[in-house]
Amino acid sequence: MDIVYINGLFTPLCNAKVSIQDRGFCYGDGLFETLRASKGKIFRLEEHVDRLFKSLPHIFIDLPMTRLELVMVVQDTLARNKYNEAIIRLTVTRGDTQSNIQVDSDIPPTLVVNIRAFTPLPKEAYKKGIKIKLFQERANLTSGLDKRLKSCNYLSNILIKKLSNEKGFMDGIVVDPDFGVTEGTTSNVFIVREGVLKTPPVSPYVLKGITRQVVLEIAREHKIPFLEERITVEDLLKADEVFITNTGIEIVPVTQIDSQTIGNKKPGILTGFIHDEFLKCVEAEKNPC
């Protein structure tokens, strides 16, 4: 039986409920983190929790617990669910309040930790690569913020994912007319051109993904030249290699964008190397020295 943590209590998933007046339900007013557990060890848990705590003040939510307390809650919830391989969803909303958009700082936030079994992508996705679709439109952003947050308001991402899947693509990438290539619906984007790794810089249009950060750490460690700079559609289509990253899919090679094949039509050597090194990072966290 799956166990969920809600506001200090553990309850079976079948009994887990939040109010219809919760701001997360009414407005998508909150933030979330998606984490991966492998063999009972949560990958980069502290980094996910740190990103959440740094983001909450930007939307005026004060979570009444410390980082360490939240880490312990997540670990406890995972332990109660008995999953060796799991996806963890950590959600914080503005809480249960009247249905208007005014912020009431006296209302305590809602905290939910939900665990589900991890279902990996088919191995073919890593062997043959995936197809992604470009959406040339204004990137979705939150007004007044200088960086992208993992907001619960995910409608734009959901629609792009749906439209992509309907046409046989695994994901969609938004290309902003001013900023250029931004990110996927749930992923960061990387290209390789003449041995140089490139990814769009963190901005109001691009999330500072945890897996993205691990990829850059791998590049530094192995002296792979990399740049965080604007990427155009032309850069994307002329790249030798393209891959996308996130917590659940890790590093997935892209071999087709719209109707155009990428590189030599199969996953690139550097993409494969980075994925192998990423898996070593996961293994190292499971078995610390």
Q: Which residues does 244 contact at the CB level (< 8 Å), separation at least 6?
A: 130, 132, 171, 184, 187, 188, 189, 190, 251, 252, 254
Tokens 């952003």 -> residue: 141
> Left, alpha or beta for 138 (phi > 0: left; psi -120 to 50: alpha)?
beta
150 catalytic, yes or no?
yes
d(CA 206, CA 155): 16
Active-site residue, selected from the candidate residues 131, 150, 161, 208: 150
The candidate with the shortest Cα–Cα distance to 77, out of 33, 25, 121, 29, is 33
Give whole-number Cα distances, 248 to 8, 59, 67, 140, 240, in Å.
27, 26, 23, 22, 24
Q: Which residues does 106 contact at the CB level (< 8 Å), separation at least 6?
A: none
d(CA 116, CA 146): 33
The candidate with the shortest Cα–Cα distance to 93, out of 75, 111, 80, is 111
Point out the residues that are catalytic. 150
